[in-house]
């Protein structure tokens, strides 16, 4: 029996890291292995979330039919910028070295962590070794960093865009999360023929039989507005806080943030200055507690800064839908996300960077009919197309097609 194609999936996060991509990569890897492929993961030591920070795993192991290689470097989440950059560089060098000295892989899949550098290194080395490459763009860089205010539009940004465009043009396939992101690549001049739109799938929560107290309770008769995800600069979180400030006197409305990120200290400081604080910032929470909050949410927030929809897609949307939540999106129109929400009657859409309109939408929902069983069912039906089974099958078909054309 001939062994299946050798496939390497490279990313800084892998289970038990609780980062979304780390949790997504495990079922993808095991699904490909179950289909007869010889799958290897190249990652780092866990460092995302409480469990990751307490875990040190072997450099090499075999998990559920997948070979897992972890570089000795531990990630640098939450540390100083220079330390984070050093850790990024260490991961890229370790990955490139692994590709150079190990037996050739038939296909290498790499994502945007760290941005630009990881994919560029993989493309350079894989061309030397004769490997096929799929570039999985979770975000388009440096455009996302510019739109998020992280990077100025200068010579460095132009250089990074040129390098990333070179990588995209020479990858056998580029995978993005939305048609809007595909259009963002088209603005660079990349032909859409090699770009595939493939959403992230909903990662099932691991089984948990423990009873965990949430530590926060929804008051009877209150209206819970939930944001669950990365508290970063792309999400337009300032508008949510401004909307919360506008609604301070509406005692039934309460905002809850679940997650961590660079803006958490700023959000905590802003909440502390409110005349009547109607915001709870709970930080990172284990899945059982997040599930409880999702079940209690009256509206689930999906927000992006203006123009950001062309460079990233909020995959928290799928998680919300799977939980049967009503969506409240502050995103650009037209956009794929806004169109889906309106067409399928999954919630409300308002412009980004307009906290007055966001507050108005929340006020309207809080005074309207509560979300009924039909609304929850409609949300869960919409989530079915993002199931693990559907998306892994599409990935398997894509990889087979790319290898067949190589």
Which of the following CATH numbers is that of domain 6-201+387-405: 3.40.50.12280, 3.40.50.2000, 3.40.50.261, 2.40.30.10?
Answer: 3.40.50.2000
Q: Exposure of 363 by Cβ count < 10 A (0-12 exposed, 13-18 middle, 19+ buried)?
A: middle
pLDDT at 247: 96
125 has pLDDT over 60: yes
pLDDT at 389: 92
Q: How far apart are CA 183 and CA 153, in angstroms?
A: 20
171 has pLDDT over 80: yes
Length reported for the chain: 406
Strands 279-281 and 132-136: unpaired
68 has pLDDT over 80: yes
Domains 6-201+387-405 and 223-385 belong to one CATH topology: yes
Q: How far is CA 238 from CA 224, 233, 255, 333, 402, in A?
A: 18, 9, 13, 20, 42
244 has pLDDT over 80: yes
pLDDT at 49: 55
Confidence label for 212 from pLDDT (cuts 50, 70 and 90): low
More confident residue, 277 or 54: 277
pLDDT at 213: 61
pLDDT at 85: 79
Range 151-155 average pLDDT = 93
Q: How far apart are CA 98 and CA 96, in angstroms?
A: 5
The dihedrals phi and psi of 340, each to the nearest 5 degrees, come to: -65, -45
Confidence label for 209 from pLDDT (cuts 50, 70 and 90): very low
Long-range contacts of 347-355 (CB under 8 A, 24+ apart): 347/299, 347/300, 348/299, 351/306, 352/236, 352/239, 352/303, 352/304, 352/305, 352/306, 352/308, 353/236, 353/239, 353/305, 353/306, 354/239, 354/330, 355/239, 355/240, 355/241, 355/242, 355/243, 355/245, 355/246
Q: How far apart are CA 356 and CA 333, in angstroms?
A: 17
Question: In the chain, where are the structural domains located?
Answer: 6-201+387-405, 223-385
pLDDT at 56: 79
**CATH number, domain 223-385:** 3.40.50.2000
More confident residue, 80 or 351: 351
Confidence label for 332 from pLDDT (cuts 50, 70 and 90): very high
- pTM as predicted: 0.91
pLDDT per residue as tens digits for the range 264-308: 999 999 999 998 999 999 998 888 889 999 999 999 999 999 999
């Amino acid at each position: 029996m001939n062994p299946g194609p050798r496939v390497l999936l490279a990313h800084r996060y892998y289970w038990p890291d609780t980062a979304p991509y780390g949790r997504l990569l495990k079922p993808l890897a095991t699904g490909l292995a179950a289909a007869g492929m010889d799958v290897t993961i190249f990652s780092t030591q866990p460092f995302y979330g409480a469990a990751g920070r307490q875990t040190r795993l072997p450099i090499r192991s075999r998990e559920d039919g997948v070979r897992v290689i972890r570089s000795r470097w531990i990630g640098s989440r939450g540390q100083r910028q220079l330390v984070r950059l050093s850790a990024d560089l260490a991961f890229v060098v370790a990955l490139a070295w692994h590709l150079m000295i190990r037996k050739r892989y038939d296909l290498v899949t790499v994502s945007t962590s760290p941005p630009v550098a990881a994919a560029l290194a993989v493309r350079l080395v894989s061309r030397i070794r004769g490997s096929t490459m799929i570039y999985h763009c979770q975000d388009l860089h440096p455009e996302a960093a510019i739109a998020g205010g992280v990077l100025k539009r200068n010579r460095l940004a132009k250089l990074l865009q040129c390098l990333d465009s070179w990588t995209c043009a020479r990858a056998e396939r580029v995978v993005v999360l939305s048609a809007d992101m595909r259009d963002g690549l088209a603005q660079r001049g990349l032909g859409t023929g090699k770009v595939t739109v493939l959403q992230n799938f909903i990662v099932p929560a691991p089984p948990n039989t423990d009873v965990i107290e949430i530590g926060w309770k929804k008051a009877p008769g209150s209206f819970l507005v939930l944001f669950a995800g990365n508290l970063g600069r792309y999400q337009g979180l300032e508008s949510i806080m401004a909307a919360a400030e506008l609604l301070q006197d509406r005692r039934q409305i309460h905002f809850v943030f679940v997650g961590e990120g660079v803006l958490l200290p700023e959000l905590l400081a802003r909440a502390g200055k409110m005349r009547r604080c109607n915001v709870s910032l709970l930080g990172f929470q284990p899945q059982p507690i997040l599930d409880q909050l999702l079940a209690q949410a009256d509206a689930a927030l999906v927000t992006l800064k203006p123009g950001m929809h062309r460079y990233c897609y909020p995959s928290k949307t799928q998680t919300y839908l799977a939980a049967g939540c009503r969506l409240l999106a502050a995103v650009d129109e037209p956009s794929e996300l806004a169109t889906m929400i309106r067409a399928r009657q999954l919630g409300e859409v308002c412009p980004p960077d307009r906290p007055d309109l966001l507050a108005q939408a929340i006020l309207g929902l809080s005074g309207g009919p509560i979300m009924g069983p039909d609304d929850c069912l409609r949300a869960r039906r919409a989530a079915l197309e993002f199931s693990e089974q559907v998306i892994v099958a599409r990935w398997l078909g894509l990889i087979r097609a790319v290898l067949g054309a190589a």
